[in-house]
Structure 1
Amino acid sequence: MRVVFAGTPEFAATALARLLNAGFSVPLVLTQPDRPAGRGMKQQASKVKQLAQVQGIAVAQPRSLRLDGKYPDEAATARQALLDARPDVMIVAAYGLILPQWVLDLPRLGCLNIHASLLPRWRGAAPIHRAIEAGDAETGITIMQMDAGLDTGDMLLVERLAIQPEDTTAALHDRLAALGGRLIVEALEIAACGALTATPQPAEGVTYAHKIEKAEAQIAWSQPAAQIERRLRAFDPFPGGLATLGEEAIKVWRGEVCPGAGEPGTVLSVDERGPVVACGEQALRLSELQRAGGKRLPAQAFLQARPIAAGERFA
């Protein structure tokens, strides 16, 4: 079976590695163009491109696949590369580009997506973050037959995964990436035997996981402490939680719900475990913090460099 792979970040690279280890032929990889990243803002290749280059796989990086779109020459070049690759199937994982109909129709078995949620819950760009933020008890991987809609295609394989109380997006991401890699290999092995069956998504329970915006980092202390705590875990590693104390912006990475009441944002008490801040309901002990330009620190180490006193108030 000839597999074209389309993906960009670490989540996708994990699946590509699993496909290669399983012995599938991958003649072509599609991924996002190199972009500036890191402190020096140097051009960096995606994790998928880096793996493809190590494996000697051809890479295409069009900014669009729409032949009638903004970059028709790039789309046409990518189309020829896809035709030359003669794929039986395309596997898509966090690629970042919309696939036009001509792409969906090109492989014999169509395009299969590795989606990090239990569809139809959390269609869209940020399913891992939104599941933690919402307090979901479980998530999972859905292998989906792609169609023209946004994560609306038929389900081929589904496996559930419990969300642990301490899970951050980073931790849950890694477990889901490993699960996605295993499940897509299983799906292709079943497809090779002609036994892969499709199930339409339920019409009920549809939710959308909108893209995470940097502005969402701002902590609203009027919210319940439990909701703020979930958001901190959901926004780790990006964009974190942001609070202002006096004139200083402080990143908050981890919190613990605890008893307490007062004007939201007010520091109720401080000890080596961290400052306790009043919220709309209960209070939140801030256990991991970061100053601008500094490192993430446990509360005790942070307070040695930047003391916080009871009665101060976070804006």
Structure 2
Amino acid sequence: MKIIFAGTPDFAAQALSALIAAGHEIVMVLTQPDRPSGRGMKLTPSAVKNVALEQQIPVYQPEKLRSAEQQAPLMGIDADVMVVAAYGLILPQIILDLPRFGCLNIHASLLPRWRGAAPIQRAILAGDQATGITIMQMDVGLDTGDMLSVHVTPIMPDDNAATLHDKLAAQGAEAIVDALANLSSLERRVQPAEGVTYAEKLSKEEALIDWTQTATQLDLKIRAFNPFPSAQTSLDGVILKLWRATPIDGTGVIGSIIAIDKEAITIACGSGALRVTELQKSGGKRLSANAFLAGSPLEVGTQFAVNV
């Protein structure tokens, strides 16, 4: 097929690479404008743009697609379909109607659960047992279009946002290739009205650890916010990022260290305790608990800020 591809991060880049490998003709790539990143805040192309440039595919990077001028580069393209994955711009109806078979979206959730910007993190944070990929026929709503195929993947107890992202990126790439190969036989299903939830963007404020929550809730937060924006607590005014932990039975003064061993720092929660095995001091490196304690000794009874 002749495809317009719209996407920005690594999640989308995997799908673009898979479509190229499957023999489809990518006639244009849409991606977000280069953004400043890194310590030097150097303008950096998106992961999708990098793939497109390697394959010598034309790239278009509009700030918006609202005006006729912004839409003009797409108007002369005779595409069969547009594939959209984590693009980041709203597509108006005139763009949705351009390709022969419309626009297909690779969404990282089991719709209608977790429509919106951060479905991977929200699924973990909510304690969902499974998530997956939905291939959806796009309309002007926020992830409200008809479903063409659904692919389930379990959320494992040790999954964080990074590991689950990688699983779903691979699953999404495979799912869109399969969907295009069988497009004429796929049944369009209207999303059910029941079970709709919205995956709001993550905020740094959400990442603050409230030790009055249960150990299970805090474990979910640490996993959901790894790698961004990272779950954080405070000790004597110093911010600590918590990267890996396990909820266990335990009691003590909420927010205080109740045990220390070579592998973990155990902290009492509102219910149960959290055995922290990987953490990071502000401005430092991610360290195992053992390495962290070697440079920053702690004692049983040390009190973390209960709610930063």
For the pair 1:157 / 2:160, whether they are aligned, the reply is no
Give the aligned partner of residue 199 of structure 1: 189
Give the aligned partner of residue 121 of structure 1: 113
- CA drift of 1:41 comes to 1.1
- CA drift of 1:84 comes to 2.6
With structure 1 as the length reference, what TM-score do the two structures score?
0.95
Give the aligned partner of residue 103 of structure 2: 111
- CA drift of 1:83 comes to 2.0
Q: Deviations over 1:223-252 (max 9, x none)?
A: 000010011011111011111111211111
- CA drift of 1:314 comes to 0.6
**Unaligned 5+ runs, structure 2:** none
Stretch deviating more after TM superposition (256-265 or 280-289): 256-265
Stretch deviating more after TM superposition (111-120 or 209-218): 209-218
- Looking at structure 2, the residues matched to 304 and 122 of structure 1 have their Cα atoms a distance apart, in angstroms, of 42
- CA drift of 1:196 comes to 2.4
Give the aligned partner of residue 20 of structure 1: 20
With structure 2 as the length reference, what TM-score do the two structures score?
0.97
User: Which of the residues 254, 258, 261 maps onto 1:268?
Assistant: 258
Aligned length: 305
- CA drift of 1:61 comes to 0.5
Give the aligned partner of residue 43 of structure 2: 43
Q: Deviations over 1:131-173 (max 9, x none)?
A: 1111111111000000111101000011110111100111011
Give the aligned partner of residue 200 of structure 2: 210
Give the aligned partner of residue 285 of structure 1: 275
Structure 1 segments, 4+ long, off by >4 Å, are: none
**Amino acid in the other structure paired with 1:92:** V
**Amino acid in the other structure paired with 2:146:** D
- CA drift of 1:263 comes to 2.5
Give the aligned partner of residue 219 of structure 1: 209
- Looking at structure 2, the residues matched to 144 and 289 of structure 1 have their Cα atoms a distance apart, in angstroms, of 39
Give the aligned partner of residue 76 of structure 1: 69
- Looking at structure 1, the residues matched to 171 and 238 of structure 2 have their Cα atoms a distance apart, in angstroms, of 41
Residue 85 of structure 1: SS of its match in structure 2?
coil
Give the aligned partner of residue 59 of structure 2: 59
- Looking at structure 2, the residues matched to 5 and 272 of structure 1 have their Cα atoms a distance apart, in angstroms, of 49
CA RMSD of aligned residues (A): 1.0
Give the aligned partner of residue 33 of structure 2: 33
Equivalences for residues 141-180 of structure 1 within 5 A: 141-180=133-172
- CA drift of 1:261 comes to 1.3
- Looking at structure 2, the residues matched to 96 and 256 of structure 1 have their Cα atoms a distance apart, in angstroms, of 34
- CA drift of 1:125 comes to 0.4
**Unaligned 5+ runs, structure 1:** 68-74
**Amino acid in the other structure paired with 1:131:** A
State the percentage of identical aligned residues: 56
- Looking at structure 2, the residues matched to 246 and 259 of structure 1 have their Cα atoms a distance apart, in angstroms, of 26
User: Which of the residues 297, 300, 306 maps onto 1:307?
Assistant: 297
Give the aligned partner of residue 190 of structure 1: 182
